[in-house]
Amino acid sequence: MGETVILLELKKRYFIRLSYKGSNFHGWQIQPNASTVQEEVNKALSTVLNQAINVVGCGRTDTGVHASDFMAHFEVEESFEFDCEKLAFKLNRFLPYDIAINEIFRVKADAHTRFDAIARTYVYRITKRKNPFRKESHWQIQHVLDVAKMNDAAKILFEYIDFTSFSKLHTDVKTNNCKISKAEWLETADELVFTIKADRFLRNMVRAIVGTLVEVGRGKMDLAGFRKVIESKNRSNAGSSVPGHGLFLVKIEYPDDLRAEDV
């Protein structure tokens, strides 16, 4: 009997760099009966390319969370051709105004927006006074905060790698270890901005860290207490998660060799 030969057509993979305002979405990832960024991008790509496309994101963002630098990838058959700049232009005309495609480029066949990321940077914004133009981008807080003490507590994060205390419970990750390389508060006359960078983040991690640091700033927790929260590896010991609308994913970094060599 002769052997049956199945020919599988090779795929080409592309990265999409996009930005979105999360106010009108229930986060990135598709979910039933809710509007999500992934759903909108899938719909736009499938329509413009006239084939079923499912994008894979570099991670999840929760309801209301924004991203000025988010990456996703998708695949098409090797024989399918299109111009990346023209595709980005068409997608931007199709997508709602709160989602913008910034760049599309071909990458190696095994490049992955989530697993190949080497660093992510988030920013959390707090406004000290009522400002109608910051309603969807800042958390308004009335309390006077000791920013110097909050920065002292933030430095303690560099001493640890297990951040179970700041992770959403019952997630499917294999490890709660992360390496934080930057964590600092900057204060202006009417705004507080927290920037944090790490190789990876756990679900809800940044919002839980900010909430706990705010407790330090309000004098409800001292530096020793902050350290104990981390060492306890117990989410219930940390502060409450701050609202999602003040959180932005602002930068995601990859190795330099992910782009396809033949383009």
The question of whether 146 is a catalytic residue gets the answer: no
Q: Give residue 233's region: left, alpha or beta (phi > 0; psi -120 to 50).
A: left
Catalytic position from the list 62, 98, 199, 262: 62
In the 8-state DSSP scheme, what is residue 81? -
Residue 16's beta-bridge partner residues? Answer: 72, 104
Is there a contact between 45 and 55 (Cβ–Cβ < 8 Å)? yes
Q: Which of 27, 44, 48 is nearest to 36 (CA)?
A: 27
Map residue 253 onto helix, strand or coil. strand
Mention every residue, 6+ apart, whose C-beta is less than 8 A from residue 111.
Answer: 13, 15, 73, 258
The residues annotated with a catalytic role in the active site are: 62
